[in-house]
Amino acid sequence: MITSFKAFAAFFLSVFLTVSGTGCTMQSGDFDSVTAQTTVCDAVADNGSTHDIQQEIADEQSEMAAHKHTTASIKTEKKSAYESFSLSDVPKYTGEAYAVINDNVPFFSKSELSVKSFETYSDFDDLGRCGTAYACIGKDIMPTEERGKIGSVRPTGWHTVKYDSVDGKYLYNRCHLIGYQLSGENANEQNLITGTRYLNTAGMLPFEDMTANYVEETNNHVMYRVTPMFDGSNLLADGVLMEGYSVEDSGEGICFCVFCYNVQPDIIIDYSDGSSREHSAETTVTAAPRQKETHNTPSTEKQGTTYILNTNTKKFHYPFCSGVDQMKEKNKKEFCGDREDVISQGYLPCKKCNP
């Protein structure tokens, strides 16, 4: 249509140049911007009436406008970095409870930042699985009483199973996406997933405690988002993407973007249904795990929590603490083990990340 219009316009111009005294006028400018106000002379009557020509011009304009609108819509609908993030972007589990994502910078956009506390929880998907939990953490939504009972909730992939190698014996916890110490949520089914003890205590808890301590001490707000990530139709999440960003100080106090692995040392898990077995056991799970769904942690891998020691100040930090970035390399030392072991060596916990 646009090509035929330009051909017609060229023809019209040639006729106009050969006809004199007709009083024809045309707006100047590119033919793409020609308007229906253009006066068409009688010299082109053989090629259609003035009304027909004006209608064709109007039709061309409508088509071009629709094309521009479609292009704009495509640009608007482009996925954000957060929406595009998937399990394929997560590093393979190598023995650490979590992995830093996106250089530890959360995916929040400027328009999402708020200093008004709120919390939102996603509806269940078709398989009954939890979705993203998203909040602006402030002191006004933090709990003022002890946590209530949550034992009535059975998230997808739930099994009540014990292993001697697991701290507290029970393999699975009902893991809050937004921790109770941040939101005061108890048996909110949209905020609880089936998570290993390791995910709950070694993976998520340090970030929850750090955020809670920061809000308590500063009375500032923290944008906070936790997204459980499932592979296909699996009922057990591979882990959670955790993001935190302190608003009033532009991330100076809290800024993290990590993926916490839903694994348990020495336990093999079938993520399709949550069934499991010990790594050294002869028996197999009811539904044998597919290779990509199974996270094995040999007993030879590093155990415990990773801390960064400052050999000069004798303080120890979580690796994601902003204080680590300010250390001189010669004073920086990595340690993997129990908190008590670090303290027994004469180190004190950082007051900012509170390890």
Judged against a pLDDT cut of 80, whether residue 60 lies above it is answered with no
36 vs 240: which has the higher pLDDT: 240
Q: What are the chain's domains?
A: 2-76 (no CATH), 85-301 (3.40.570.10), 304-355 (no CATH)
Query: What are the pLDDT digits (tens) for 163-191?
Result: 999 999 999 999 999 999 999 999 999 99
Angle between helices 2-18 and 50-76 (to 10 degrees): 140
Closest by CA position to 162, among listed 173, 153, 154, 170: 170
Closest by CA position to 103, among listed 257, 327, 227: 257
Q: Which band of pLDDT confidence, cut at 50, 70 and 90, is reported for residue 334?
A: confident
Cα end-to-end distance, the chain, whole Å? 68
97 vs 329: which has the higher pLDDT: 97
Per cent of the chain over pLDDT 70 is 71
What's the whole-number average pLDDT of the chain?
A: 79
Q: Which band of pLDDT confidence, cut at 50, 70 and 90, is reported for residue 291?
A: very low
Residue 209 to residue 355: CA distance in whole angstroms: 9
pLDDT for the residue numbered 314: 82
Closest by CA position to 310, among listed 288, 292, 328: 328
Give the distance between the most distant pair of CA atoms in the chain.
104
- Which residue stretches of the chain are H helix? 2-18, 50-76, 81-84, 180-183, 197-198, 205-218, 322-325, 339-344
Q: Which band of pLDDT confidence, cut at 50, 70 and 90, is reported for residue 50?
A: low
Closest by CA position to 263, among listed 293, 285, 233, 225: 293
Judged against a pLDDT cut of 50, whether residue 265 lies above it is answered with yes
Query: What are the pLDDT digits (tens) for 96-108?
Result: 999 999 999 999 9
292 vs 273: which has the higher pLDDT: 273
pLDDT for the residue numbered 97: 96
pLDDT for the residue numbered 12: 47
Judged against a pLDDT cut of 50, whether residue 25 lies above it is answered with no
Closest by CA position to 24, among listed 10, 12, 36: 12
Residue 155 to residue 352: CA distance in whole angstroms: 33
pLDDT for the residue numbered 354: 73
277 vs 73: which has the higher pLDDT: 277
pLDDT for the residue numbered 105: 96
Q: Stretch 125-149: mean pLDDT, rounded? A: 94
Judged against a pLDDT cut of 80, whether residue 89 lies above it is answered with yes
Residue 139 to residue 306: CA distance in whole angstroms: 29
Q: Which band of pLDDT confidence, cut at 50, 70 and 90, is reported for residue 36?
A: very low
Closest by CA position to 194, among listed 212, 210, 211, 170: 170
